[in-house]
Amino acid sequence: MADEIMDEAVVCAKLNEALAPQLRSALAYTVVAGSLRGAAYQGLAHRLAEWATEELDGARALVEKITSLGGQPAAEPAPMTHRSDAAEAIQGLVETEREALAALHAVIPETGQQPRSEALEHMLEHEIMRKQHHLDALRRAAGD
């Protein structure tokens, strides 16, 4: 679609596919931040709580874009599972953030080449960059 005009319906659908894992990220970071046990994880717990707020900001930006393109934002987060073991919880975040990144990245090829397309792509790239930074830190915490 690189030379075409943005198909708003397709882009809205892809953005909604990215919104569900984005909403899950906010919830997952909140739950894991509040349930990590042990002194070794308390510094990470504080960071996860901050990241939860960033995920909500990212979700809001996706909702704003969906709405501005005439779509209806999804209201349900992607499914998540609570893991009480800290190492398993962090690994779970790694897995879900990989999925969220892939969903955001999948929107880009559909955006076209108009000025508004470039703006959307730029917004997505910033979200991807931020989430990749978090994923890298989670992988280090998980020992990957």
**Separation in Å, CA 55 to CA 12, 73, 100, 143:** 19, 16, 11, 23
Q: What is the pLDDT of residue 1?
A: 44
pLDDT digits (tens, 9 = 90+) for 53-109: 999 999 999 999 999 999 999 889 999 999 999 999 999 999 999 999 999 999 999
The rounded mean pLDDT for the chain is: 94
Domains and CATH numbers, the chain: 8-72+83-142 (1.20.1260.10)
C-alpha to C-alpha distance for 50 and 66, rounded to whole angstroms: 25
pLDDT of residue 40: 87
Q: Are 73 and 67 in contact (CB under 8 A)?
A: yes
The pLDDT of residue 3 is above 60 = no
- Assess whether pLDDT exceeds 60 at residue 2: no
